[in-house]
């Protein structure tokens, strides 16, 4: 059985079960490209898999994610009698320690919002956009992509509800927001062009385009540095996604949005 053909068959199988399967499909296709268009699944050996996984040290979470993706694929190949055993490495390195998200203090969040107000007006993201997005992550506990993808129709300001569509695992959900956050969303909406279609993005750049994840992360990092918010326990610095973890265990204080 041709490796590329079986990979596409497996991807279609997973998507037929309702999974978006985007990341894993990308990994499998990348593996297929390393073997060439004419390779058969039976010709894949352990050293091919090891070469694809790489031998970088320390071993990262990505290494294990790729291994898990290949393990599921070869399990599928075995179940269809295309191979008798999965050509996977038998010696597995120790998993890296779990990443611990950064939990902001209330004082740090206040400083963060104060620094946003002095953010350059000619930057890709206006201070009002960056501030409101930070409050949405903090107050509603959204994932980074979820807030970026919000449209005007998704933000029900009258009923204080956010509609999160086609998020992780392809599901959608309704997220109620508190009065302080809803007031911040109303104030931000008043600064936007009045006549926008319902499917227009709620948060945009200065030029009116979509907010890229890297752009948001870069601007957030600048503001964090100005506010003196840094980690010393790891090379990873506080991320905007960490606000989601903060939201899971805290209630937004009224004074923060005052």
Residue 123: strand, helix, or coil: coil
Q: State how far the Cα of 200 lies from the Cα of 78, in Å rounded to an integer.
A: 47
The sign one gets for the Cα dihedral 148, 151, 154, 157 is: positive
Q: Residue 172: its pLDDT value, please?
A: 85
Measured distance CA(138)–CA(59) in Å, rounded: 32
For residue 254, what pLDDT is reported?
Answer: 42
Radius of gyration of the chain (CA): 23
**3-state SS string for 2-28:** EHHHHHHHHHHHHHHCCCCCHHHHHHH
90, 51 contact by CB (below 8 A): no
Q: What is the pLDDT of residue 43?
A: 96
**Domain regions of the chain by residue span:** 3-79, 106-257
CATH number listed for the domain at residues 106-257: 1.10.443.10
The model's pTM is: 0.70
User: Torsion over CA of 191, 149, 167 and 172, rounded to 10 degrees?
Assistant: 50
The CA distance from 87 to 251, in Å, is: 49
Q: How many CB atoms lie within 10 A of CB 39?
A: 16
Question: pLDDT under 70 in the chain at which residues?
Answer: 56-57, 169-170, 246-258
- Sequence-separated (6 or more) residues with CB below 8 Å from residue 8: none
Q: What is the pLDDT of residue 247?
A: 66
And the tokens for 35? 């073997």
Residue 60's pLDDT is what? 82
Closest CA to 7 of 30, 20, 65: 30
Give the pLDDT score at 130: 93
Residue 250: per-residue pLDDT: 54
């Amino acid at each position: 059985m041709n490796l590329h053909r079986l990979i596409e068959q497996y991807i279609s199988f997973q998507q037929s079960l309702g999974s978006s399967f985007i990341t894993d499909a990308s990994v499998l296709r990348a593996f297929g490209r390393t073997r060439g268009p004419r390779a058969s699944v039976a010709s894949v050996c352990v050293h091919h898999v090891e070469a694809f996984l790489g031998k970088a040290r320390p071993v990262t979470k990505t290494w294990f994610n790729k291994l898990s993706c290949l393990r599921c694929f070869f399990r599928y190949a075995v179940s269809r009698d295309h191979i008798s055993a999965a050509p996977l490495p038998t010696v597995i390195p120790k998993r890296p320690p779990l990443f611990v998200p950064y939990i902001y203090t209330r004082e740090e969040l206040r400083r963060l919002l104060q620094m946003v107000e002095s953010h350059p007006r000619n930057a890709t993201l206006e201070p009002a956009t960056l501030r409101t997005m930070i409050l949405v992550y903090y107050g509603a506990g959204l994932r980074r992509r979820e807030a970026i993808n919000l449209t005007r129709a998704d933000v029900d300001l009258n009923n204080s509800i956010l509609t999160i569509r086609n998020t992780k695992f392809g599901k959608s959900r309704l997220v109620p927001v508190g009065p302080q956050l809803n007031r911040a969303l109303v104030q931000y909406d008043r600064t936007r062009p009045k006549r926008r279609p319902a499917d227009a993005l709620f948060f945009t750049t200065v030029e009116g385009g979509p907010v890229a994840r890297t752009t948001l992360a870069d601007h957030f990092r600048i503001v964090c540095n100005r506010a003196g918010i840094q980690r010393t326990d790891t090379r990873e610095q506080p991320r905007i996604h960490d606000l989601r973890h903060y939201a899971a265990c805290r209630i937004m204080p009224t004074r923060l949005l005052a």
